[in-house]
Amino acid sequence: MTRNLSSLSFISSDTDSAQEAARHLASLYGQTDPNEADVIVALGGDGFMLQTLHDTMASGKLIYGMNQGSVGFLLNEYREEGLRERIAAAVEHHIRPLEMVATDAEGNSISAYAINEVSLLRQSYQAAKLKVLVDGRVRLEELICDGLMVATPAGSTAYNLSAHGPILPLEAPLLALTPVSPFRPRRWRGALLPNRVTVEIEVLEGDKRPVNAVADHTEVKSVGSVMIRETNKVTARILSDPDHSWDDRILAEQFLY
């Protein structure tokens, strides 16, 4: 795929190493305002990359990340040489985030997008008690747990994996519904859902067992219900080196031991 690479914009997290890398790369390749650039090069860790994708998901901008953090799962290896050639050869992925609509205790509706996952988490010492519906049909009348999440393929190796959820190939038309420390039903370990479904989660005994809802960086406290579905309103565009693509990274995670 041929890309217009006449202008790059280098942005960074607030760490010294990331900011120094951005200054140096800008001196080598030039610096364009992010709103005008053909490609935005994000320098930082996974958290900064995730925030960059959120900030640009409605703009159509291409994002190429290079690791200046710790794990760097979402990012490419940091190298200064041949950057334009690397970007030109990169594999492009389109990520459709989840849309969360949470209703709080006062009846207010709060909407937010999630690239990784939408999670409901207990707010107090008592376990959450939840009812789970898929496309309007009750699938679990009562789930007692520390939390419950809906994860995208892109987010399946993040919190979802830590909660023993399945790893999903990036292009899989699936969502992972994964409990956190389920108590009843004790043997339920989650479900794989088609990405076209709508998941509704109702909080039972919310006054006694308050629950927060989180869509990536957006938290809503003391929710009564949450609706989650994949959206077609916005898309994030991310570039990865062909020898270290997201598909390869997700596949490699499945063979770690």
Q: Binding site for NAD(+): residue ranges?
A: 46-47, 116-117, 146, 154, 157-162
Which is nearest to 174 in space by CA: 153, 159, 156?
153
Q: Are 244 and 134 in contact (CB under 8 A)?
A: no
**Cα angle 12-14-20, degrees, rounded to a multiple of 5:** 60
Whole-number Å distance between alpha carbons of 178 and 63:
29
Whole-number Å distance between alpha carbons of 61 and 154:
18
Active-site option among 14, 16, 46, 55: 46
Whole-number Å distance between alpha carbons of 241 and 248:
10
Q: Binding site: which residues?
A: 46-47, 116-117, 146, 154, 157-162
Q: Measuring CA to CA, how many Å separate 196 from each of 98, 199, 228?
A: 11, 10, 11
247 a catalytic residue: no
Tokens of 99: 């849309």
Q: Which residues are catalytic?
A: 46
